[in-house]
Amino acid sequence: MAAPPPPRSGWSWLNSRPVRWVRHYFGYSRGEARGMMGILLLMLGFIIAPMLLRPELPEYLPATDQKALDELATQLKEHRATDQSFASRYPKREFKKFERGGSRYPQVAQVKLAPFDPNALAAEGWEARGVPHFVAARLEKYRAAAGGFKAKAQIKKMYGLEDSVYQRLAPFIQLPEEAPKRDYAANRPGPDGKFPPFASPDGAPSKFPRKPRNLQPFDLNTADTTQLMQIRGIGAGRAKWVVKYRNQLGGYLREDQLDEIFVLKDAPDLRDSLRKYTFVAPGYAPKTVNVNTASFDEMYLQPYIGKPRARIIVAYRQQHGPFKTVEDLKQIPILKPADWEKMRPYVRCQ
């Protein structure tokens, strides 16, 4: 008679064929398989427990909410009807049109029209001659800003002044119809060859001197700002930059170097004017930089060298010794042939 099979433990299912395959595939021992299955069961319990223990959602009753809203609306209406404390703090304002003779604009006695000087009238004087209050204030303000009226046309163009009012006042205004034109022929060069400043119609000299029409070309490397400002379109700012860039370079060798000045890059007409009235003397020798003795601070100020090239030149000089000729600069890897051609006239080796 065969012996009965031994009783199975609670973990006997671990000996089933799928589980044995998993154990064999992952290389788990029996204890590791039991631990893994326990962790999985625990995770499954954490997932299912919230679903089973979730409290039942309360039932929504829209009728109750609507009743509460109706009661709140009724309370607000009663509060607005009984509480009027804000009325005393913010009383209702009545806007009325202000008319002549009201409290804002007092009545000005009218005068009989007679010849008058508009530069001697205040705002009340204009009002006494039938000009509205706001236009009279504008006339007085314009007279103070412009330094006085020069012609009737200035008064006629005043904003808000009706043409009928102007036509009634025009015969009595002691001014010419139009302002006198400037006498440009009077601005001619004097014995010293310089042009006098523009003069305004009242004889006061202008702060902007007139520029000559027939200007003789001059040397670009010896001209100062005053001479450069004689060219039309060249003011004090651009003239200073032309001189400043010349000093940084060491002198201009070509007129097309003016294109490198940033204040002239967007003004081709001004560059053409500078080329027309300036020249570079033949055989001019610019100021050069000694690449063997110049420090970094002295070298990078040259626009054709700059900080990156100056730093490399100083480092190369410290490693390989001083340069024998200017052509030795070509051995620097980052120095392009075009950059070397620009730099060549402004450097020396001593």
* Residue 107 burial class via C-beta count within 10 angstroms: exposed 0-12, middle 13-18, buried 19 and up: exposed
**Domain end point (choices 232, 267, 286):** 286
Helices (H), the chain: 17-26, 30-53, 62-82, 85-89, 123-128, 133-146, 152-156, 163-169, 225-228, 236-249, 268-277, 296-299, 306-320, 337-343
In a domain? residue 201? no
Residue 137 domain flag: yes
Residue 270: give its domain's CATH number: 1.10.150
Single out the residue of 126, 105, 109 nearest to residue 173, CA to CA. 126
- Judge if 266 and 308 occupy the same domain: no
Domain that holds residue 231: 212-286
Question: For residue range 187-222, what is the model confidence (pLDDT) as tens digits?
Answer: 555 555 555 555 554 555 555 566 667 788 889 988
**Mean per-residue pLDDT over the chain, rounded:** 79
The string of DSSP letters for 7-29 reads PP-TTGGGGSHHHHHHHHHHT--
| Domain end call among 286, 305, 336 | 286
76 compared with 100, residue with greater pLDDT: 76
Asked if the structure places residue 236 within a domain, the reply is: yes
What are 272-328's pLDDT values in tens digits? Answer: 888 888 888 888 888 888 888 888 888 888 888 888 888 888 888 888 888 888 888
Q: Are residues 282 and 294 in the same domain?
A: no
Beta-bridge mates of residue 290: 348
Query: Does residue 152 sit within a domain?
Result: yes
Contact status, residue 316 vs residue 328, Cβ threshold 8 Å: no
Task: Enumerate the β-bridge partners of residue 347.
Answer: 289
Q: What is the pLDDT of residue 183?
A: 57
pLDDT higher than 50, residue 94: yes
Give the domain CATH number at 337. 1.10.150.320
Query: Is residue 5 assigned to a domain?
Result: no
Task: For residues 269 and 299, state if they share a domain.
Answer: no
More confident of the two residues 53 and 345: 345
CA distance 3 to 20: 26
Same domain, 295 and 348: yes
Q: Per residue in 101-150, pLDDT tens?
A: 444 566 788 888 889 899 888 888 899 988 998 899 999 988 888 888 88
Look at the chain and report how many structural domains it folds into: 3
3-state secondary structure of 31: helix
Query: What is the per-residue DSSP string for 258-321?
Result: GGGSGGGTT-HHHHHHHHHHEE--TT-----EETTT--HHHHTTSTTTHHHHHHHHHHHHHHH-
